[in-house]
Structure 1
């Protein structure tokens, strides 16, 4: 006869409803949060797109869009620009990452910081600076045309958009590819050399093919960022209009606002990006495999003419990428009269900024970023654990929903939040809360994917050992699993942070004077023709992001992303 001892803990466990434990509660809580702050606003956008002014259902807004070549052309323009930016970013970002990973370069840390800083600028700052440099009366334009026998044109239009966005987004390719190149086993490269595959042939036949999954992931990220960009085509697109600019004009434009039509354009944009996302997923699955470097490749020192060319490529590329921000910092100290910069230097632009919500802008930028990032990290860690360790239909559904903002233009999310929370019982529009919610929703996918990928490579046995020694589920999770996920979570969090501090496309729909950030302050100054003031706000944003990046590197020492 066997005697079963019943402890209070056993009784409590037996009395608990079947399947309801702490992780089930967390799963349901995350489902509720994503439902309230993501699915509900997106349903509002969909509803707005099929409602006429009288409240009846209609598809007239979609018919109007599809029947007008101008509107269809804005989506086509966005698509073409995004493909061009993706191709150019891969073309310059992959060699940059290859040299960075396989060569022992002097100033490597400076190159990495410069690359990340160049993609941390606000979406329109690069465009604004390039206008001052290569606009019709730009400094560089006048200098080049004085020595060249032909006109070089201007930064405006398709070519300018591709140039600005490519120099801004190629570091994202580099950050991804750094991790992929490090994961290649050195023995594979040695075997390829023995079989006669050397130089560029080995790079193409072995290294590029082994990193196809990462290339596809980096391509998708660059494409989505370029497709959703608002500031660059707004400033330098001129006649080359993209759909994000058209959404803004229809929703907040000074002439002919049409919120229903703006919602319809947003839905069409979501459909296009969803199709691209599904195609990328299909392609990635065809090339899906994992790499683990048993014998990492030893870095070489660049020598001779080839080494000089490598150094020239790396530093010239970073110099071009950083040139807009450095020029903005320089101009922030120049005297100016609205759109005209005058001889001499002073701190007048900064004094003017202090009287134009500078303190509030800095505070909001830091506060929103810190709070949003803290929430992102917490939710990402919890969701990654649920997906990897406790997979079920509910958790997989939440994971899928969490990725929706990855394929949604920011303006669509901004419109959805306004529709959902513009009236009681949750009247959040115009508050700091809705700004933080927007940042969390928009920028969480990077950290979620990084945390999930990291946890997939961690053995379950370590956590089970902690449980066998008496640790509770939560204690084993927080004390054992979370610290082991730290590096992967941090590498994803830096991408989320980069995007948070430079957010504009959704923020421009939601902000007001109480919730204004440095990015929005600079944009407002540009639209009002106060170029010196805009430079001051932009310079402060650049310095702030540089300081925060230095703190990140000091405590994490991460230089790649695990996706």
Structure 2
């Protein structure tokens, strides 16, 4: 019996160490190299804080950090101001067409922010449709949404769905008897929302707001496309690392370290708030939507519909423009055509599409296999090593994609790892960066499976590993696949790391869209964006089918 236990212990310990080794090689080692390069003098090769002095010594550089904080804080606050009331209205009031509205909100969240930036260029750019109307009607010279205002618009409309998803889930678990008790004591309307409902869901509001903060702070594509003179720190990192003139790897590494420190502090702050305000609600009597009357009903519908229409508008614009005739992809000449799709499917132009699917599927295989084992080890085999593994595997959730991409190039562009520009490095980056989604969903469903099921299998003659593979894994599969689909959707929409890691033969859809927009080839950009959007929608439908749910939890 002792030998059997030692053998089982060795199997799980060995598996834990092997998985830990994978993350050491493909996550910790690259990040340590970033830290090392940030403190090495470019002249003497010794230890130096020269790059950090350079950053904090010149306003041009540290100003980008302030810009990032400014746009991130504003976008987070506006996202809460939109997401909170929409979640409350859709839960408490009968909204006509609520189902399609929720689907539209989710799609707008899953779509990459830079696609929203590109679509708003089509609408409110210097030559945008709405811009031309404004200038003609009001006889003004409106120069478009470029700069702070444009970045804020895109981030807000793309981020409030995350607030909505979280708060809607919290309201679903709210016991409506609390509302009824408040009403019986004379606390009605806005007063009841402020004094009863908001304190109960405040931990959820804060947690979702901090997630929006981290997501916006790390975004590269949107400020790069429409920021112009308004530079943020992810853009500065990219320019310092990639620029053909004046690039500086060491300075880019120092900037990456600063961003890692900021995002880590934000993450720890979120964990602190969550732990201090954690509680559970059991909705014995869930909130039921009630019909509103008169002006109140009209205003609620107008508000919800207006915000959702603005949020989904980028996807509608890119799909519509993808079918317009154009002059070489740069000027839409009127009429409808499949010209843009014909252009991207020409020889050598469609590889970005197949690369996206191939890399995404390769990453998903890795994510599912490792995700199952990691969640099992951290839930069922708790010890010091698995606790460390649990922390390390969640770390990619807070690492900006551009930083991860730079760290990978530092680590794998020289012997013995020559992976730069290859499909392997793209697949690994997708897997490492998006694995937390699957780990979280797998861990959640594993917590609902009683260990007694495995114990029963062992008592009937199965080994512990056989019980895991034949009993536990099949029971985990629905949750694992649901998380894997969310990992897939976010992986194929990844730009920040892909734009740094891709080579001539490993371009993805997001990179193709970005480069097409930069070159002014809006026809191709619209066609690529449509394919990506349709793929995300179909993946979302598959998620609903497998999970048996009509809601997305994140």
Fold shared per TM-score above 0.5 = yes
Structure 1 unaligned segments of length 5 or more: list them.
1-9
- Aligned residue for 1:124, secondary structure, equals helix
Query: Partners of 1:307 and 1:474 in 2: how far apart?
Result: 58
1:558 matched to 2:549? The reply is yes
Change (3 A) 1:462 1:206: farther
Residue 183 of structure 2 aligns with which residue? 193
Q: Which moved more, 1:483-492 or 1:25-34?
A: 483-492
Could you state the TM-score of these two structures normalised by the residue count of structure 2? 0.92
Matches within 5 A, 1:81-480: 81-148=71-138, 154-337=144-327, 339-355=330-346, 357-456=348-447, 458-478=449-469, 480=471
Change (3 A) 1:22 1:297: farther
Measure how far apart 1:517 and its partner are: 1.1
Query: Partners of 2:100 and 2:281 in 1: how far apart?
Result: 28
Contact 1:454–1:485 under 8 Å retained in 2: yes
Contact 2:176–2:287 under 8 Å retained in 1: yes
Measure how far apart 1:264 and its partner are: 0.6
Measure how far apart 1:471 and its partner are: 4.7
Change (3 A) 1:553 1:122: same
Contact 2:91–2:288 under 8 Å retained in 1: no
Query: Partners of 1:362 and 1:126 in 2: how far apart?
Result: 20
Measure how far apart 1:419 and its partner are: 1.1
Residue 542 of structure 1 aligns with which residue? 533
Measure how far apart 1:12 and its partner are: 4.7
Change (3 A) 1:189 1:61: same
2:67 counterpart (49, 68, 77) = 77
2:38 counterpart (17, 26, 49) = 49
Query: Partners of 1:305 and 1:127 in 2: how far apart?
Result: 35
Query: Partners of 1:80 and 1:472 in 2: how far apart?
Result: 56
Contact 1:491–1:558 under 8 Å retained in 2: no
Measure how far apart 1:27 and its partner are: 1.6
Contact 1:119–1:498 under 8 Å retained in 2: no
Q: Encode CA deviations 1:460-495: one digit per residue, 9 max, x unaligned.
A: 445545545555433444455445555654554454
- Aligned residue for 1:430, secondary structure, equals coil
Query: Partners of 1:479 and 1:209 in 2: how far apart?
Result: 45
Contact 1:175–1:559 under 8 Å retained in 2: no
1:35 matched to 2:18? The reply is no
Q: Which moved more, 1:196-205 or 1:237-246?
A: 196-205
Q: Which moved more, 1:67-76 or 1:136-145?
A: 136-145
Measure how far apart 1:73 and its partner are: 0.7
Change (3 A) 1:167 1:71: same
Query: Partners of 1:505 and 1:159 in 2: how far apart?
Result: 22
Query: Partners of 2:334 and 2:494 in 1: how far apart?
Result: 33
Query: Partners of 2:347 and 2:293 in 1: how far apart?
Result: 52
Contact 1:358–1:518 under 8 Å retained in 2: no
Measure how far apart 1:70 and its partner are: 0.9
Query: Partners of 1:445 and 1:265 in 2: how far apart?
Result: 24
Change (3 A) 1:501 1:246: same
Contact 1:491–1:560 under 8 Å retained in 2: no
Query: Partners of 2:382 and 2:347 in 1: how far apart?
Result: 51
Q: Encode CA deviations 1:66-115: one digit per residue, 9 max, x unaligned.
A: 11111101111111111111111111112222233344444333222211
Q: Encode CA deviations 1:409-441: one digit per residue, 9 max, x unaligned.
A: 111100111111112322222111111111122
Contact 1:446–1:492 under 8 Å retained in 2: yes
Contact 1:118–1:321 under 8 Å retained in 2: yes
Q: Which moved more, 1:230-239 or 1:324-333?
A: 324-333
Change (3 A) 1:432 1:321: same
Contact 1:450–1:561 under 8 Å retained in 2: no
Measure how far apart 1:148 and its partner are: 3.9
Aligned residues: 552
Q: Encode CA deviations 1:154-194: one digit per residue, 9 max, x unaligned.
A: 31111111110111111122222222111112333333333
- Aligned residue for 2:245, secondary structure, equals coil
Query: Partners of 2:444 and 2:84 in 1: how far apart?
Result: 22
Change (3 A) 1:292 1:30: farther
Q: Encode CA deviations 1:380-427: one digit per residue, 9 max, x unaligned.
A: 333223223322111111111122222221111001111111123222
Could you state the TM-score of these two structures normalised by the residue count of structure 1? 0.91
Matches within 5 A, 1:473-492: 473-478=464-469, 480-482=471-473, 485=476, 488-489=479-480, 492=483
Contact 1:487–1:558 under 8 Å retained in 2: no
Structure 2 unaligned segments of length 5 or more: list them.
none
